[in-house]
Amino acid sequence: MTIKLSNVSKRYGKDFSLKNVSLTLDTGKIYGLLGPNGSGKSTTLKMIAGLVYPDLGQVEVNGEEVTRRISQKVAYLTELDMFYPSFTVGNMVEFYASQFIDFDRKKAKQLLQDMKLDPVKKIKQLSKGNRGRLKLVLALARTAPVLLLDEPFSGLDPMVRDSIVKSMLSYINFDEQTVIIATHEIDEIEPLLDEAIVIFNGKIIDQKNVEDLREEAALSVLEWFKSTMAERERNNHE
Amino acid sequence: MSAFQGLVKKDFVISKSWFLFWLVFISLFLIVALALDHYILEPLTFLPVAVLLLLFFHAFFLPSMLLSMLRLEGKTQLWLYNPQSSKELLLSKVYVSLVYQVATQLYLTAVGLTIYQFFKSQILIEASDLVAGTIIFNLGLLLFGLYVSCWAMFYWTVYHSLGKFPTIKGWRWLLLLLIFFLYNVIFTLLTRIPGFKEVMNKWTIPVFAGPNFSHKQGSWEIYLNATNIPVLGLLFYVILAVCLFLISCWLLDRKVEV
């Protein structure tokens, strides 16, 4: 399922969150959307999820203009809490199962076990780490063709991060799902990525195939990201 | 469980504590009224007034519940991250608020009828008037609550749609006031068109809905007067409510960002 952003701009106040961004993302690939805070990563994902709309340009998923109802095809994990505090873990899973036809209850049950989450526990009683795990359960239990993960490691300790990466490896359908991971934690996701995209000040400044980077430039994604950002800084000063 | 049932169940779970709070509040209000009646040895002074007062408050109970739920949903993106149509998202909330309103109206009506049973001799009202009055009053409250709810949904969606324009973000409430003012001006101008009122009042349904209360020597005397409800006027409000609901749905699908 192809995702296409054509000349997309979005402003919050005087600042551009995205400025004339054009991007095409293909089926069966895992993309890392990398950039510093406020670079436009979250806005890009929210636009693909139909939660914010471009001021200019167009966002399409498989040729269909994105509106709120694209959530049928797009599984989205936000860095913010997206729960009803009075719900239990089980309530939340049941609610998702009732709303998304592609939600796989068996997969959710297995994920809950893997993540050691108790279905009867109230969400407001969960630690930050466990809330992060629950968000991942809800996103990975869907078989949606597009999976968006916004800062999946935000505020989580290394043990939780490790379990999240393992879950991704086990539960992502690498052939059929298009996955976009927006993060600062490049080291953790590097083994998963097919493509890396750098976004800075609302603009896509570079995109590379991770295998090419390793084989041709002998660079890790983190090294390449740092050199790209340094070059950008130099250009800004000149 | 269908998607709509899932939404309804979720809306019941997120709002049940407010409903229970309201039930406790009205129960305490009635107990205080009963205690005051007992204290002054006048059994029909505060309690019937308390029941009627609480029932009148219910004109705004349904929209208040609805707005409380929308306010909660506005705090996260969870509600809008949903493939169901906006009609279903909003109708689920209207349905849950309506169930709460029916439940509390039934509760208050039951309290009112219990008072009547105990003090029949001191409340002078025809049995047929009592039944007709109770049904019409309750139905009227529900319909009014639904109508105000459509305005509440409309204002909520307009308010959040305007949020993406930074220059007016801080002044959104002024625009809502402007819409309210413009609607009233247009409506007043319409009523000034010669013949408009005559057309609107051409077909009417007589409804015994205008109660007259008088408190004489410890007894209540209640009469119901016939009120003519204009059919076209009623139709106008129904169409207006449907239009407001549909505009809210469109805005929710295309413009609202929370």
**How many angstroms away from the CA of B164 is the closest CA of chain A?**
8
% of chain A exceeding 90 in pLDDT: 50
Burial class of residue B207, CB neighbours in 10 A (0-12, 13-18, 19+): middle
Domain count, chain A: 1
What is the tens place of the pLDDT at every residue in B188-223?
A: 898 888 888 888 878 887 776 666 667 666 666 666
How far is the C-alpha of B34 from the C-alpha of B44, rounded, in Å? 9
**How many angstroms away from the CA of A64 is the closest CA of chain B?**
14
Q: Which residues of B touch A12 (CB under 8 A)?
A: 166
Residue-wise burial string across A34-72, b where 16 or more C-beta atoms lie within 10 A, e elsewhere: bbeeebbbbbbbbbbbbbbbbeebebbbeeeebebbbbb
- Could you give the C-alpha distances from B36 to A63, B203, B204, in angstroms and in order? 69, 46, 43
CB contact under 8 A, B6 and A94: yes
Q: Could you tell me if B204 lies within 8 Å of chain A, comparing CB atoms?
A: no
% of chain B exceeding 70 in pLDDT: 92
Report residue A189 CA to chain centroid gap: 11
Q: Between B44 and B152, name the one with better pLDDT.
A: B152
Of the pLDDT bands very low, low, confident and very high (cuts 50, 70, 90), residue A160 is confident
Structure tokens at B2: 């269908």
CB contact under 8 A, B81 and A69: no
- Could you give the C-alpha distances from B131 to B9, B116, B122, B127, B128, in angstroms and in order? 33, 12, 18, 6, 5
How far is the C-alpha of A129 from the C-alpha of A157, rounded, in Å? 7
What is the tens place of the pLDDT at every residue in A106-125?
A: 999 999 998 889 999 999 89
Q: Which one of A67, A68, A103 would you mutate to disrupt binding with B, by most B Cβ within 10 Å of its Cβ?
A: A68
A180 pLDDT more than 70: yes
B171 pLDDT more than 90: no
**Poorest-pLDDT segment among A152-156, A166-170, B134-138, B212-216:** B212-216
Of the pLDDT bands very low, low, confident and very high (cuts 50, 70, 90), residue B144 is very high
Of the pLDDT bands very low, low, confident and very high (cuts 50, 70, 90), residue A203 is very high
ipTM of the predicted assembly exceeds 0.90: no
Q: Which residues of B touch A97 (CB under 8 A)?
A: 1, 6
Mean pLDDT for chain A?
89
How far is the C-alpha of A84 from the C-alpha of B7, rounded, in Å? 12
Task: Map out the domains of chain B as residue ranges.
Answer: 3-254
How far is the C-alpha of A20 from the C-alpha of A24, rounded, in Å? 13
Count of other CB atoms within 10 angstroms of residue B1: 12
Q: Could you tell me if B253 lies within 8 Å of chain A, comparing CB atoms?
A: yes
CB contact under 8 A, A98 and B255: no
CB contact under 8 A, A49 and B6: no
Alpha-helical runs (H) found in A81-220: 89-99, 105-114, 128-140, 158-171, 186-189, 210-212
Q: Vertex B133, ends B131 and B139: CA angle to 5°?
A: 100
Mean pLDDT for chain B?
87
Interface of A with B (CB under 8 A): 11-14, 46, 49-53, 67-69, 71-72, 76, 78, 80-84, 86-87, 91, 94-95, 97-100
**How many angstroms away from the CA of B167 is the closest CA of chain A?**
7
Which residues does residue B206 pair with via DSSP β-bridges, in sequence order?
A: B228
Among the partner residues A69, A82, A98, nearest to B78 by beta-carbon distance: A82
Of the pLDDT bands very low, low, confident and very high (cuts 50, 70, 90), residue B121 is confident
Q: Could you tell me if B77 lies within 8 Å of chain A, comparing CB atoms?
A: yes
Which range is most confident: A85-99, A149-163, B122-136?
A85-99
Output the domain CATH number for residue A125: 3.40.50.300
Q: Which residues of A touch B252 (CB under 8 A)?
A: 68
Q: Stretch A226-232: mean pLDDT, rounded?
A: 86
| Segment (H or E) for A32 | strand A30-34
- pLDDT, position B223: 65
A79 pLDDT more than 90: no
How far is the C-alpha of B107 from the C-alpha of B120, rounded, in Å? 19
Q: Containing domain of residue A191, as a range?
A: 3-237
CB contact under 8 A, B253 and A67: yes
Of the pLDDT bands very low, low, confident and very high (cuts 50, 70, 90), residue A172 is confident
- pLDDT, position B218: 62
Structure tokens at B237: 């409000």
**Phi, psi angle pair for A47, to nearest 5°:** -65, -40
